[in-house]
Structure 1
Amino acid sequence: MSRTIAEKRAAFRTLHASGCFVLPNPWDAGSARYLASLGFAAVATTSSGYAWSTGHADTHVGRDAVLAHLRAMVDATDLPVNADFENGFGADAAGVAESVKLAVATGVAGLSIEDATGDVGDPLFPLEIAVARLAAARRAIDESGGDTLLIGRAENFFVGAPDLEDTIRRLQAYAAAGADCLYAPGIRTREEIEAVVAAVAPKPVNVLIGANSTFTLEDLAALGVRRVSVGGALARAAWGSFMRAAQTLSQGRFDGFGDAASGAELNALFGGDA
C-alpha cells in the first residue's frame, strides 16, 4: 500500500530519533526503485549524480530541473526522499525561502541547505549570511506545515577550507537557527566525527562516506552518527562501469560487459517481462 507524503515524512523523522541508518543516494527513478528493493528505509538525492545524468557538472543544473527531479524521485518509491537542495537556489534569504517552499511541495521528507557560494575565490557564505539563509529555510518549512526535516551543511572540508573549529561553529549556529540534522561532508577521521557529534548533540549528525573508507556502519554508530550517506559514490560507480565497457567497445572489442545485469533481472525489478 502506498504511503502518503505525511506518512513518509513521519517515518523519516522517526529514523532520526535513534540508531544509525544508511541513506543511499540514487540519481534517477530506476536506481531509487532498486535501492528500495534492497530494503533501505529512505533515500537521498545527489546533486552530482543527477547533474551527470543530464550531461552537466555538479551545481550546474537549474532550479526548475531540480524540482522536477525531486518530484520524480518522490513518485518513484514508497520511501522517504531527502533532497540535496544545494545552497537553496536563492540569491538571498528571501530567494532561499521561495525555493524551499517549492521543494517542500514536491513531497520530499527532508532537504539540505549548504553554505557554499559556488565562487571558487570566496567559497563560503559569511556565517551571519549563512545563518540567515538557513533560518529562512526553517521559516519556509514551518509555514508549509513543518514536517519536512531541515539539514544544515557546513561545506568547509568540501571547498578546500578544512577548518574543524569553523565547521563546528557553523554547525552549532545552524542548529540554533532551526536545523534538525547537521552535516559536514568531508570530515573523515574518528576524531573529527566525534568532535562534530559532541558539538551539536543531541541533534543527529549525517556523515558522508565515499571511496576507501575503513569505517563500518557499526563503527559509525558507536561514534554517535545517526545517518550515513554516500553522495555521488553510487553514481560514480555506475559511471565507472559504463566508461570501462564503452572504452573497450571503442577499441573494437565486446568483452566489457561481464558485470552487466541481465535484462530479465531488470525487467523483473521494474514489473515487466524479460
Structure 2
Amino acid sequence: MSRAEELRALHAGGPAGGRPLVLPGPWDAASARVFEEAGFPALATPSAGIAAALGHEDGRTPADEMFAAVTRIVRAVSVPVTADLEAGYGLSPKELVARVLETGAAGLNLEDSDRTHGLRDPREQAERLAAVRAEAGPALFVNARVDTYLQGGTVEEAAARARLYTEAGADCVFPILAPAGDLPRLRAAGIEGPVNFLARPGDPSFAELGRLGATRITFGQGLLLRALAGTREIAAGLLTA
C-alpha cells in the first residue's frame, strides 16, 4: 500500500459519527518525530506553522522553502504526511504534482483563495482540482480547502463549492473556520465524503465533532502556538533561575 493509499484508508470511515482522524501539524522534523512517536498514524503540515518556523509571515513563504520544509518533515517520519501548499504558488497542475511527489508527501491541501485574487471562481477552482487529480492519479490525497467562511460566506455557499470540488476529484473538503454547529448543516446541504474540521480552543471534543459530521481534525498553526507558549514559560524561568 502506498502512503497515499494508506492516508485514503485512514479517511475511509466517512461521516458515520465515529471518532475523526486526528492529524497533528508538525512545523519541522523534530515536531514531526514527536507526533509520530506519540502514535499518530498520519500528519498534516500547516503552512502558517512552517512559515512561522522559517521566519516568514503566513502566506509569504517562498515555494522552494516550503517544499524543502515538507521534504525534511516527510523524511523524518514513516507515517503518511499531507502538505498544506496554500494556493499552489502559481504552479501549473503538472509542476505542482511533480514537486509534491518529489517531497514524498502523500497528499496536499489546496486553498481556493489567495492574497492576489481573493476568493477564486468556484468552477475555475474545480477545473484546477480536476487537473491536479488527473495529473496525480491515485498517487496523492487531495484536500480542497473552502475559504468562504473567511469571507463571511454562508453554509450554502460553502456547501456548493465543496460539492463542486468533490465532483472534480477531491478526496476531502475543508471548509476552514466553519463553526462546529454548522457541520450538520453542511452535511444536510449535500457535502458527502470526508470533511476536514479546523479545531480551536473551546470546540467540542473530537468524538462530538465526529458525531456532528467531521471526518478529520487538523489544527493549523495551533499546536506550534501552544509549543511557543511553553517555550515562553521556559524562557521566563531561565531569567529568574
Same fold (TM over 0.5): yes
Give matches, 1:217-228, under 5 Å.
217-228=206-217
Say yes or no: does 1:212 pair with 2:202: yes
CA distance in 1, matches of 2:154, 2:69: 33
What CA deviation, in whole Å up to 9, does each residue of 1:84-121 have, x standing for no partner? 01111116xxx2431222112321111111101213xx
What code does the residue aligned with 1:9 have? A
Give matches, 1:27-42, under 5 Å.
27-42=27-42
What code does the residue aligned with 2:94 have? A
Give the drift of 1:141.
1.0
Give the drift of 1:167.
1.1
Give matches, 1:241-260, under 5 Å.
241-246=230-235, 248=236, 253-254=239-240
Query: Mind listing any 5+ residue stretches in structure 1 that lack a counterpart?
Result: 1-5, 256-274
State the SS of the aligned residue for 2:119.
Answer: coil
Give the drift of 1:200.
4.7
Q: Which residue of 1 aligns with 2:223?
A: 234
Give matches, 1:190-201, under 5 Å.
190=181, 192-201=182-191
CA distance in 2, matches of 1:51, 1:183: 20
State the SS of the aligned residue for 2:83.
Answer: strand
State the SS of the aligned residue for 2:118.
Answer: coil
Query: Mind listing any 5+ residue stretches in structure 2 that lack a counterpart?
Result: none
Kept after mapping to 2: 8 A contact 1:197/1:225: no
Q: Which residue of 2 aligns with 1:16?
A: 11
What code does the residue aligned with 1:172 have? R
Cα distance change on mapping 1:151 and 1:199 into 2, 3 Å: farther
CA distance in 1, matches of 2:77, 2:101: 17
What code does the residue aligned with 2:160 have? R
* Aligned-residue CA RMSD (Å): 1.9
Q: Which residue of 1 aligns with 2:124?
A: 129
Number of positions where the alignment pairs a residue of Structure 1 with one of Structure 2: 236
Bigger relative contact order, structure 1 or 2, given CA contacts below 8 A and separation 6+? 2
Q: Which residue of 1 aligns with 2:140?
A: 148
What CA deviation, in whole Å up to 9, does each residue of 1:173-196 have, x standing for no partner? 101111011111100132x11122
Cα distance change on mapping 1:200 and 1:79 into 2, 3 Å: farther
Give the drift of 1:244.
4.8
What code does the residue aligned with 2:140 have? T
Kept after mapping to 2: 8 A contact 1:97/1:139: no
Q: Which residue of 2 aligns with 1:157?
A: 149
- Percent identity of the aligned residues? 32
Larger Rg: 1
Which shifted more, 218-227 or 195-204? 195-204
What's the TM-score, normalizing by structure 2?
A: 0.90
Cα distance change on mapping 1:113 and 1:229 into 2, 3 Å: same
Q: Which residue of 2 aligns with 1:261?
A: none
Cα distance change on mapping 1:27 and 1:128 into 2, 3 Å: same
CA distance in 2, matches of 1:224, 1:184: 12
Cα distance change on mapping 1:100 and 1:132 into 2, 3 Å: same
Match of 2:114 among 109, 117, 136: 117
Q: Which residue of 2 aligns with 1:100?
A: 97
State the SS of the aligned residue for 1:141.
Answer: helix
Cα distance change on mapping 1:39 and 1:80 into 2, 3 Å: same
Give matches, 1:79-98, under 5 Å.
79-90=79-90, 95-98=92-95
What's the TM-score, normalizing by structure 1?
A: 0.80
Give matches, 1:52-71, under 5 Å.
52-71=52-71
